[in-house]
Structure 1
Amino acid sequence: MAARIGHDRNDDGVLPSSVSGGPHGVGDPDDRTLRKVEREIMIPLKMKEKAKVLKCPDEVKDFGECARCQGVMMPFKCRKEAASLKLCLASAYQDPTFVELCTQEYLDERTEYRRTGIKRKEKKTVS
């Protein structure tokens, strides 16, 4: 049998051990490195969720009320509220401490998932 080149695993898996190792086969719980999809998609989603609640609750409420009142005319009638919300969210995304907070929170949740095998939303319903 030919030697395998470029693999860092001893078994027949195709994923590196940092992604498929750990007690539940979902990755090493102690690995704190971020993959590209986590950096560019998962963490920004977390930032958006948290920013709407922590940084811009008034803007979200104002935009929601305007949208509810205007119905199909919302894109035209709620431009001021939409611009205000967009500006607030953009300032939150540029705050380095907020970005770091969201990154650390994401990494902690990922570590817990890799350690237990239970997703955050499943854990809330199980408890």
Structure 2
Amino acid sequence: MSATTVNITDNLENLREGEVVTDEKTGKKYRVKKNIMPHYSAGGPHGLGDPDDRTLRKIEADVIIPNRMNAHIEKNACNESYLGLITCFRKDGAVSGLNTCKPALEIFNRCKYERFHDPEFRAKITDDYIRERSEARRTGMTSQQRKLEEYREWKSQNEK
């Protein structure tokens, strides 16, 4: 194993697994560990990432947050217009409903557009997601897994 002296801002891609590297500024020695995930996604108490990390990966920002926003809009924010659209489609049928339900679709789309382009709403959903992700990284279990464990404990206590 060779010891290499590098500056922390250097490109470290050409280093090999297990190689010993010395930081020029601090003089500390590090062993190279290659990982597919970035360091903030692989650390933490359960290897799921740093619980205090608030950065979002691209898939979280572009897919997960908009999906959560959409689900929240349909269930809470624009529920009345969404249910009106669903009722119209059920009454007129999916194919003919495309033409006859345009007013209901327009109302729902307007409500959805307003919510999707509201920065406060997006920030709220993002904060909720980061809080859930942080708790999952801290405990090693998702919110659904924690609820299941709570139910199992409740059930075992009530069976006695």
TM-score by length of 1: 0.86
Q: How many Å apart are 1:12 and its aligned residue?
A: 4.3
Which of 42, 65, 88 matches 1:43?
65
Q: Which has the larger strand fraction? A: 2
2:109 aligned residue: 86
Which of 1, 12, 17 matches 1:5?
12
1:32 aligned residue: 54
Aligned residue pairs, count: 127
Structure 1: which 5+ runs fail to align? none
CA distance in 2 between counterparts of 1:89 and 1:9 reads 50
Q: Which has the larger helix fraction? A: 1
Q: Percent identity?
A: 32
Paired AA for residue 60 in structure 1: Y
Give CA deviations for 1:56-114 in whole Å, capped at 9, x if unaligned. 11101101111111223222221111111111011001112111111100100110111
| Shift in CA distance, 97/9, structure 1 to aligned 2, threshold 3 Å | farther
CA distance in 1 between counterparts of 2:130 and 2:77 reads 21
Structure having greater relative contact order (Cα 8 Å, sep ≥ 6): 1
Matched position secondary structure for 2:84: helix
Q: How many Å apart are 1:18 and its aligned residue?
A: 0.2
Q: Which deviates more from structure 2 when the two are superposed, residues 106-115 or residues 51-60?
A: 51-60
RMSD, matched Cα:
2.3
Matched position secondary structure for 1:33: coil
Which of 104, 111, 116 matches 2:139?
116
CA distance in 1 between counterparts of 2:143 and 2:101 reads 35
Matched position secondary structure for 2:93: helix
Which of 140, 149, 153 matches 1:126?
149
Structure 2: which 5+ runs fail to align? 5-10, 16-29, 151-160
Matched position secondary structure for 1:15: coil
Which of 80, 84, 89 matches 1:58?
80
Which of structures 1 and 2 has the bigger CA Rg? 2
CA distance in 1 between counterparts of 2:47 and 2:69 reads 27
Which of 84, 97, 100 matches 2:123?
100
